[in-house]
Structure 1
Amino acid sequence: MSQPAIADSQSEAPHLLVVDDDARLRTLLQRFLAEQGFRVTGAADAAAARHALANMFFDLVVLDVMMPGETGIELVESLRRKGQDVPILMLTARGSPDDRIAGLEAGVDDYLAKPFDPRELALRIRTILRRAAPPPVETVAGPVQLGSRWFDPQRAELRGPEGVVRLTGGEQALLAALAARPNEILSREEIAEALGTPEAGERAIDVQVTRLRRKIEPDPREPRFVQTVRHRGYVLRPGL
């Protein structure tokens, strides 16, 4: 479930949870990210991360894939099944497209292959946080109808008869990008730019679309709302 906001003055700085079993790397990341203006908490494994998430609010999780016991991928899958929608940036020593796609399919918002430049990590974190923030009211289009559900771009919120439909930060950003230009075909490159991940490959965008369709389509195998336009991209077709 979504985590309640904390009202104290310290909550003005984004609070990050860094999860990595490598104590040296974890300490270095905590120190560097703190110098970048973030509040940072560390966790050595999935169990410690669960405990932290249950007791504190976090704006974003930086999560290693390869950890003893429960892996990062397994932790993400478990969190998403339980409705935990905190943005997650995954660190992976495996830089192949298949490994990155596995992370996206599990529900991460972005990924970064090791070794990485800490400055790029900070940049990606800020990109995800900007993406997760509600857009300014004056630039927001009105609600978009998707069958029995409505997407409110101002709140980045999807609602239906069952209440709020949980979306990850990546799913929210994708739907917001499509809803901003309904009935207009967006190329995968345009979508990647809108998501703040211009380096994302076509397959990564396709995976995000597949995940979104599971949340909004009556039958994801025959999509009514997010339609594929062969060789061109995707288009959002609002309606009943």
Structure 2
Amino acid sequence: MNAKPDRHLLVVDDDDRIRNLLKEFLTRAGFRVTVAPHGEAAGRLMQTLDFDLLVLDVMMPGEDGFAFTRRVRSQAGEAGRTPILMLTAKGEGGDRIEGLTAGADDYLPKPFEPQELLLRIEAILRRAGPRDTGPQVLTMGRCAFDSGRGELTRDGAPIRLTEAEVELLRTLARAANAPVDRWELARDTADASGRAVDVQVTRLRRKIEDDPKNPRYLQTVRGVGYRLAPD
């Protein structure tokens, strides 16, 4: 698969085990993944974050997947057009029709093969077309980071970055102002525990921050990971 890490998925499922398995599997496939246990939490996330696709379980307590899909489709702007892939333990045609009528883009009955899930996600994203990746250059006080070139400057002078630091900054820049999970940041490092990421963040703070011990731009999000907060 050629998943791109700037593609941000929201997985909504009330089953903790399935939700965590999907997050791990899709993250390893190259996506940014955020999870929510029910529609209410997913709705709050959509108020502050942009997603390229929702992977949505139908059977959830409270607001089910059909109702949540209708709520999403009732929103104005890009949020209301977010592609939706529905998951359900039921294979009846009536559920499929109801999901598609509510506004889902595709429908996958459980149990399913992980590879089929990836293929369906990729197909939906291809149909949706390329996303707006936002500004290529982010400013952080006296520093600027050109994500396309992988270059960091301070007062116009280049600052040397390791390859790992460039990739870390790029990942954080793609999710600017939103927290990124430490596990996701550590995915491509040799140390999956996240300690290597912590070391890289400490080094980057020395290069970017006026006061590295009280960071303004490269922030720690307790219990989650890190966030880049450019000007």
| Correspondent of 2:7 among 14, 17, 34 | 14
Deviation at residue 105 of structure 1 after TM alignment: 0.3
Counterpart position of 2:42: 49
Counterpart position of 1:105: 101
Give unpaired runs (5+ residues) of structure 2: 131-231
Q: Does 1:95 align with 2:88?
A: no
Q: Does 1:32 align with 2:28?
A: no
Length-normalised TM-score, structure 2:
0.52
CA–CA distance in 2 between the matches of 1:97 and 1:13? 34
Q: Does 1:122 align with 2:118?
A: yes
Number of residue pairs the alignment of both structures matches = 124
CA–CA distance in 2 between the matches of 1:27 and 1:124? 19
The letter of the residue matching 1:75 is F
The letter of the residue matching 1:89 is L
Deviation string 1:112-154 (CA, Å, 9 cap, x unpaired) is 00001111101100000001106xxxxxxxxxxxxxxxxxxxx
Report runs of 4+ in structure 1 exceeding 3 Å deviation.
Answer: none
| Correspondent of 1:61 among 50, 54, 65 | 54
The letter of the residue matching 1:95 is G
SS at match of 2:30: coil
Deviation string 1:14-70 (CA, Å, 9 cap, x unpaired) is 100000000000000000000100000000000110011111010000000000000
SS at match of 1:94: coil
Deviation at residue 13 of structure 1 after TM alignment: 2.2
Q: Does 1:72 align with 2:68?
A: no
| Correspondent of 1:23 among 10, 16, 23 | 16
Instruction: Tell me if the contact between 2:5 and 2:32 (Cα under 8 Å) persists in the aligned partners.
Output: no
Counterpart position of 1:177: none
The letter of the residue matching 1:56 is L
CA–CA distance in 1 between the matches of 2:73 and 2:83? 10
The letter of the residue matching 1:19 is V
Identity among equivalent positions (%) equals 56
Counterpart position of 1:226: none
In our comparison, the structure showing a higher alpha carbon Rg is 2
Deviation at residue 12 of structure 1 after TM alignment: 5.2
CA–CA distance in 1 between the matches of 2:5 and 2:109? 29
SS at match of 1:63: strand
CA–CA distance in 1 between the matches of 2:112 and 2:6? 24
CA–CA distance in 2 between the matches of 1:26 and 1:13? 20
Over aligned residues, Cα RMSD in angstroms? 1.2
Deviation string 1:184-240 (CA, Å, 9 cap, x unpaired) is xxxxxxxxxxxxxxxxxxxxxxxxxxxxxxxxxxxxxxxxxxxxxxxxxxxxxxxxx
SS at match of 2:62: coil
Instruction: Tell me if the contact between 2:57 and 2:86 (Cα under 8 Å) persists in the aligned partners.
Output: yes
Length-normalised TM-score, structure 1:
0.50
